[in-house]
Amino acid sequence: LAQRRTLEYLQEELPVHLLKCFGHKRFRLGISTLFRTLQYPKLNKQLSYVLLDVLVQKLLPMEEEL
pTM above 0.75, yes or no: no
Dihedral sign, CA of 50, 56, 59, 63? negative
**Residues 31, 11 contacting (CB under 8 angstroms):** yes
The pLDDT value given to residue 49: 95
Nearest-angstrom CA–CA distance, 51 and 26: 26
Nearest to 11 by CA among 40, 26, 1: 26
pLDDT in tens, 2-58: 888 887 887 777 767 777 788 888 888 888 888 888 889 998 999 999 999 999 999
CB atoms within 10 A of CB 31: 19
Can you give the residue ranges of every domain in the chain?
A: 2-65
3-class SS of residue 3: helix
